[in-house]
Amino acid sequence: MSFLKELNRRRTFGIISHPDAGKTTLTEKLLLFGGAIKEAGAVKNNKIKKGATSDFMEIERQRGISVATSVLAFIYKDKKINILDTPGHKDFAEDTFRTLTAVDSVIVVIDVAKGVEAQTEKLVEVCRMRKIPIIVFINKMDREGKDAFDLLDEVEQKLGLRVTPLSFPIGMGYDFKGIYNIWEKKLNLFSADNKQKVSKGVEFSDLEDSKLDEIVGEKAANTLREELELIDEVYPKFNQEEYLNASLQPVFFGSALNNFGVKELLDCFTEIAPTPQPKKAEERLVDSKEETLTGFVFKIHANMDPKHRDRLAFVKIVSGTFKRNAPYLHVRNGKKMKFSSPNAFFAEKKEIVDESFPGDIVGLHDTGNFKIGDTLTEGEILNFKGIPSFSPEHFRYVNNADPMKSKQLQKGLDQLMDEGVAQLFTLDINGRKIIGTVGALQYEVIQYRLEHEYGAKCTYENLPMHKVCWVDPDDAKNEEFKEFRRVKQRYLAKDKHGQLVFFADSGFTIQMTQSKYPSVKLHFTSEFE
């Protein structure tokens, strides 16, 4: 098959949601339709087996689950679908933010009863920032929840999206009769016993047909007609170009647990979703159709094995063909490297592949050469942008508990920060190190791994801070910035890339600082134009 044909077959997307919205179930059902697994539940069972090989506390198993199967691939209607499953738990949100740099589109899963939750808002904001095309899937329609129109309003207001429904529910919870697929003009009837099967749709190009009354009942049929008329008047018509430009977001309704509405989502997705997209490097825009290889590391996962043997770097191929045993330039190190056993991920199996194409994710065994954001090319010096750090929520001073092991502690902290477990800041005033994380669970993970993988021990001291902001002065030489540095020197530090950051103890402090020093901009991510 030619290179361009392979490229056009690829669809790489992430599934994001708040915990418990049904992300894993949806992923599983997509694999089921793709024929990658024989029955639903296979992924879960496999995850449990994988999780149990790590002899660490429960939280690590929980983390192992989301990381072990973070890439799932299958073939559906001759398209190669790559799913990047992301951890829903907010304590591992950094991982999800980074994963979003490697996808070409996303599916956001929303629970019908809970509606839009805070974690979802954060993730969608990142997608909007990057102009990633979004499809919304409203899940658990077989349970009692919010009204469909109220949910659409909530998605528009809270997530700042412009939506258009491509399927619409008939009733909900106990009265849930099925879904009208606006995209294909079909009616799909729901029955609670089709968990493992797929219901066939009944074609309805004319909704005035009296057959509709016979099938769903007169009352439900009339309600559906009124609601579809309202949709027609209120919501914009679906336009693929607007969806690809991230200015219009289609919405589907369904129940992933009951296999309902998932096939409609997948059928529409394979038709409208973008093929691998160009990606901006600091030097230039790299087009996915270029024949020379470029790719970047968006995630590193070290096994919980104390010998640190099994460290995998996940590389997203941006352009060209990745070939096994071919020499590629590791841009940051300036070294050529060959990879004898690059892994691709098919459903729950890893296998060695000879070649991979743009959009694919390749797992490379790593002995500590890679950092997140590293680029591989055939010789060109390129650095891909867009793997920012976000302002952590928790801060603690880190102290060395064993003075004989300070080198090991330094090495361990460096490597764990490269892996993206947390962020390290060094105070300007006294050089003390501060670890910032998105969730408190991460501190236990760091302590455990420092001791078992690097032989170093650390203790923590709490640091009651609200946020860390990256400092961006209009002019580093002006008096206002010098004044800012003098007054705030106790709260200034550097991140691991040497960027200046400001620790703020409250939202009020940030407001006051910005009004007092208007030429000094404060950002909540480490990347700003």
Token pair in block for residue 181: 């697929």
Question: Mean of the per-residue pLDDT values for the chain?
Answer: 80
pLDDT at 251 over 80: yes
- pLDDT tier at 508, thresholds 50, 70, 90: very high
Q: Bridge partners of 425?
A: 434
Do 241 and 329 belong together in one domain?
no
Q: Which of 446, 459, 391, 438 is nearest to 419 (CA)?
A: 446
* Main-chain dihedrals φ then ψ at residue 193, nearest 5 degrees: -95, 15
Do 262 and 294 belong together in one domain?
no
Do 105 and 45 belong together in one domain?
yes
- pLDDT tier at 92, thresholds 50, 70, 90: low
CATH code for the domain of 508 = 3.30.70.3280
Angstrom CA distances, 458 to 58, 257, 516, stand at 21, 44, 38
Q: Bridge partners of 445?
A: none
Q: pLDDT, tens digit, for every residue of 47-67?
A: 433 433 333 344 444 444 444
Name the domain boundary from 351, 377, 403.
377
Q: What percent of the chain has pLDDT over 70?
A: 83
Residue 298 located in a structural domain: yes
pTM for the structure as a whole: 0.77
pLDDT at 342 over 70: yes
Do 255 and 289 belong together in one domain?
no
CATH code for the domain of 358 = 3.40.50.300
Name the domain boundary from 345, 377, 409.
377
* Residue of higher predicted confidence among 425 and 217: 425
> Which of 150-164, 413-427, 486-500 is the least confident region?
413-427
Q: Which of 455, 450, 452 is nearest to 422 (CA)?
A: 450
Residue 135 located in a structural domain: yes
Residue 128 located in a structural domain: yes
Do 39 and 108 belong together in one domain?
yes
Task: Give the span between the Cα atoms of 419 and 157, in whole angstroms.
Answer: 35
Compute and round to an integer the Cα radius of gyration of the chain.
25
pLDDT at 90 over 80: no
Q: Bridge partners of 398?
A: 460
Residue 74 located in a structural domain: no
Do 467 and 333 belong together in one domain?
no
Q: pLDDT, tens digit, for every residue of 183-199?
A: 888 877 776 555 444 45
Residue 218 located in a structural domain: no
Name the domain boundary from 249, 272, 295.
272
Range of the structural domain that residue 418 is part of: 394-523
Residue 109 located in a structural domain: yes
CA dihedral of residues 398, 404, 410, 413 (deg, nearest 10): -50
Q: pLDDT, tens digit, for every residue of 410-447?
A: 988 888 887 777 899 999 999 999 999 877 778 888 88
Token pair in block for residue 107: 């599916």
| Whole-number pLDDT of residue 234 | 87
C-alpha count within 13 angstroms, C-beta hemisphere, residue 270: 18
Do 130 and 265 belong together in one domain?
yes
Residue 498 located in a structural domain: yes
> Which of 52-56, 172-176, 296-300, 366-370 is the least confident region?
52-56
Domain count, the chain: 3
b or e along 242-267 (b: 16 or more beta carbons within 10 Å of the residue's beta carbon)? Answer: bbbebebbbbbbbbbbbbbbbbbbbb
Strand, helix or coil at 30?
helix
Contact 362, 294 (CB under 8 A): no
Do 241 and 93 belong together in one domain?
yes
| Whole-number pLDDT of residue 294 | 92
Do 256 and 342 belong together in one domain?
no
* Residue of higher predicted confidence among 400 and 58: 400
Do 245 and 143 belong together in one domain?
yes
* Main-chain dihedrals φ then ψ at residue 136, nearest 5 degrees: -100, 130
Residue 201 located in a structural domain: no
pLDDT at 100 over 90: no
- pLDDT tier at 218, thresholds 50, 70, 90: confident
Q: Bridge partners of 280?
A: 285
Do 398 and 511 belong together in one domain?
yes
Do 479 and 405 belong together in one domain?
yes
pLDDT at 112 over 80: yes
